[in-house]
Chains A and B, each alone.
Chain A
């Protein structure tokens, strides 16, 4: 049982390049999330998808777009990467958003550097 899988694990981009971070979960969860974590900081929510077909902004959505491709997959796109987007990106899933009795399950992250 793989849980939450993120690809790629590492990526280096130049300023202005675009890329898509992929996330897939095999737990049949309804809700999925994208976080970023900067050195010495906690996790900040970028976007989330409470259920298939819906997406909502989190705390730091600027410069990102998301797609909930199907129930399993939730991708994060950087259209024009900036050095400020250098970070570690974590995808997570839960059975249901807005349901407190529903733990988050995280992937192991994508380490992105923008030069």
Chain B
């Protein structure tokens, strides 16, 4: 099964950039890399996804390594509201429910 590994936690200062890493060394050619975040007492929220090229949206940027075995979610200016658990998962492949697995994610703390 193609799985992802992330550090358990990271800390950041408010208004500074944050780089959240994810390793997925067994990724297959059809897998998209997805990031979600979960605020306390809420359901996970979609952040961004990509296949090969770097992606930007209003929430974050996704940098994907050339060999696709790792990726980094970039929050350009962390705010206190960005304190959450961030999950990196792989999606793709017909009928493969293993591609729907969420690990424990990275718990991001933001210091004022």
Contact = CB atoms under 8 A, between A and B. Distances in A.
Given A45-B100, A48-B100, A100 B43 contact: no
Contacts of A35: 102
Contacts of A90: 43-44
A40 B46 contact: no
Interface string B16-60: 000000000000001110101000001111100101000000000
B93 interface: yes
Contacts of B31: 100
Interface of A: 4, 33, 35, 40-45, 48, 50, 56-59, 90, 92, 97-109
Interface residues of B, number: 28
B44 A106 contact: yes
Contacts of B43: 4, 90, 92, 106-109
Contact of B102 (A4, A42, A97): A42
Given A42-B87, A42-B103, A98-B94, 12 more contacts: A33-B100, A43-B44, A43-B102, A44-B102, A92-B43, A98-B95, A98-B96, A100-B30, A100-B34, A106-B43, A106-B44, A108-B42
A103 B97 contact: no
